[in-house]
Structure 1
Amino acid sequence: MFVALLCGAVFFPGLFLSLRTVLRSAFTHWTDADVVAVSERLVSSIHASLAATAGVVVVTSCRDVMTDRHWLVDGFVLFGAPYMAYDICAMYLNHYHTQKVKGHDGAYGHHSLRTVKSFLLREWMLVLHHAALLLIFMPITLFFRRGLGDFFIGCMFTTEFSTPFVSIGKILIQLGLDNSRLHRINGVMVLVSFFTCRILLFPFMYWMYGQQYGIPLHRVAFHLPLHCNVGNLAILAPQIYWFILLLRKAHRLYLRQNRAKADSQRDSLKTE
């Protein structure tokens, strides 16, 4: 148990520092904000890929959704727990350097309680999400489940499947490729993977429970303890909120690209 926790505590910060060093050497024209942002997103993608892979292995290995066990559940929870603490720090560094580059020198000349407060106000939902996973989800998974529900924990791991596409989209914007076909294709993958793995996942879990015990999908919630339904709702609610934000962003990008295309066509007609 301690070994997995220690490995995670070394792996994720170490990978972040290594990527910062490599990117700073490879892209000398990048600012500190660029280097930190891309490093954070690459580490996030690697963690998400590992989590989703672990989730698929667990889900496909558990025949009984309640009683089957898989060693990857506890192992990856311990390995991934330090990532949550690391990522809060990495997000803060990203915020700090980004605001500094924007010219907010008065507030961001150095690290202080003011910079921390600004970060928390801006990213409070993500920080709360990470803290809840670390302080609530991890203890429940390790100590309070009585060995039940590895299948459902594996399902929760698979929610990270959409994260690499989100990170790739941000990196493409960083590289100035936000109007490229690759960015548009990746945007579609973000929406599809997010909706499938973070929203449809919940009715899928209820359906699988119903299949196990012969309960119709619309009756499953009434057969579960209240705290299970409340917990699922607490996890699902921010996913729906983030998906709405993604849809709005995709709509703005679509309108912007249409305007750019229309302007380009008008300019070409004028030149003719």
Structure 2
Amino acid sequence: MLTSVVCGAVVFPGLFFGCRKLLRRTFSRWSEADVVCVSERLVSSLHASLATAAGVTVVTSCRDVMTDSHWLVNAFVSFGAPYMVYDIYAMYLSHYHTQKVRGHSGLYSGHSLQAVKAFLTKDWMLVLHHLVLLLVFLPITLFLRRGLGDFFIGCLFTTEFSTPFVSIGRILIQLGLDDTRLHRINGVVVLLSFFTCRILVFPFMYWMYGRQFGIPLHRVAFHLPLHCNVGNLAILAPQVYWLILLVRKAYRLYLRQKRGRRDGPKTH
């Protein structure tokens, strides 16, 4: 376990600073905000891809959803724990440099408690999500499960499947390619993957449990301990909120592009 934690503590920050250095050299005209934001997204995509691969491996290996175990569960949770700490720091840097470029030089003339407070105010849900995973679900997974439920932990790993597409979308916006067909196609993939892997995965887990024990899907929740249902709701709630934000953003983009086509240049 300690080896996995140390590896995670080296890999994710190391990749982040390595990406920053490489992007500065490759795209010399980019601002520091561009470099930091894209670097953060690239590392986030890598972590999400590894989590998805680990999740698929665990889910397809467990025949019994309660008692079957796989070494990847504890190993990846330990490996991913430092990522949660690193990513809060990387998100802060991204916020800091972005706001500085936008002209808020007074508040962001240097790192300060006011700058940190502004970041926490803006991205409080993401920060809370990371802290809950680190301080609540990590101890539960590693120490309190008594080796049960690796299948369900694997399912939760796969919720990261949509993250690389979200990152691609933000990188395209950063590069000024938000009005391209590639961005529109990626937006559709984001919505479909997010809904499938972050929303439908929960009824899927309940259905798999019910199928093994002969319980109808609508009765499964009543056969589970209260803390299991509460834990699932705590994870599901922010996913529903973020899905609503994604749908609203997609709708605004659709309206903007529709107005652009309608008000485009006319030939005489």
- TM-score band by shorter chain is over 0.9
Alignment of 1:95-114 (within 5 A): 95-114=95-114
Cross-structure match for 1:230? 230
Q: What is the alpha-carbon distance in structure 1 between the residues aligned to residue 66 and residue 214 of structure 2?
A: 14
TM-score when normalising by structure 2: 0.99
Q: Alpha-carbon deviations, 1:122-162, whole Å to 9, x = none? A: 00000000000000111000000000000000000000000
Distance 2:67 2:96 in 1: 46
Aligned residue for 2:215, secondary structure, equals coil
Alignment pair present for 1:75 and 2:67:
no
Q: Which amino acid aligns with 1:158?
A: T
Q: Tell me the secondary structure at the aligned position of residue 263 of structure 2.
A: helix
Give the match for residue 169 of structure 2: 169
Please name the residue that 2:50 is paired with: 50
What percentage of aligned pairs have identical amino acids?
75
Q: Paired residue for 1:145?
A: 145
Partner amino acid, structure 1, of 2:74: D
Q: Which residue of 1 aligns with 2:191?
A: 191
Moved over 4 A (4+): none
Aligned to 1:130: 130
Counterpart in the other structure of 1:259 = 259
TM-score normalised to structure 1 length: 0.98
**Given residue 165 of structure 1, which amino acid in structure 2 is its aligned partner?**
F
- Partner Cα distance (1:22, 1:172) in 2: 18
Give the residue type in structure 1 aligned to 2:213.
Y
Q: Does 1:38 align with 2:33?
A: no
Give the distance between the partners of 2:107 and 2:174, measured in 1 at CA: 24
Q: 1:66 Cα deviation (Å)?
A: 0.2
SS at 1:63's partner residue? coil
What stretches of structure 2 of length at least 5 have no aligned partner?
none
Whether 1:10 and 2:7 are equivalent positions in the alignment is: no
Report deviation, 1:200: 0.4
Distance 2:176 2:119 in 1: 25
Partner of 1:248: 248
How far did residue 263 of structure 1 move?
A: 1.1
Amino acid at match of 2:138: M
Indicate the SS of the match to 1:176: coil
CA distance in 1, matches of 2:199, 2:78: 25
- The residue number in structure 1 matching 2:25 is 25
Distance apart, 1:262 and its partner CA:
0.8
CA distance in 2 between partners of 1:187 and 1:106 (Å): 35
The superposition leaves residues 218-261 of structure 1 with CA deviations (integer Å, 9 ceiling, x where unpaired) of 00000000010011011101100000000000000000000101
Superposition deviation, residue 185 in structure 1: 0.5
Show the counterpart of 1:159: 159
- In the alignment, residue 236 of structure 1 is paired with which amino acid? L
Aligned length: 268
Residue identity matched to 1:24: R
The secondary structure found in structure 1 opposite 2:68 is coil
Tell me the secondary structure at the aligned position of residue 104 of structure 1.
coil
Alpha-carbon distance in structure 1 between the residues aligned to 2:134 and 2:181 = 37
Q: What secondary structure sits across from 1:166 in the alignment?
A: helix
1:17 partner letter: F
Please report how far the alpha carbon of residue 197 of structure 1 lies from its aligned counterpart in structure 2 after TM superposition.
0.2
Aligned residue for 2:107, secondary structure, equals: helix
* Aligned equivalents of 1:215, 1:73: Cα separation in 2: 26
- Equivalent residue letter for 1:136: V
Q: Structure 2 CA distance, aligned partners of 1:229 and 1:190? A: 27
Paired with 2:164 and 2:129, the residues of 1 have a C-alpha distance of 18
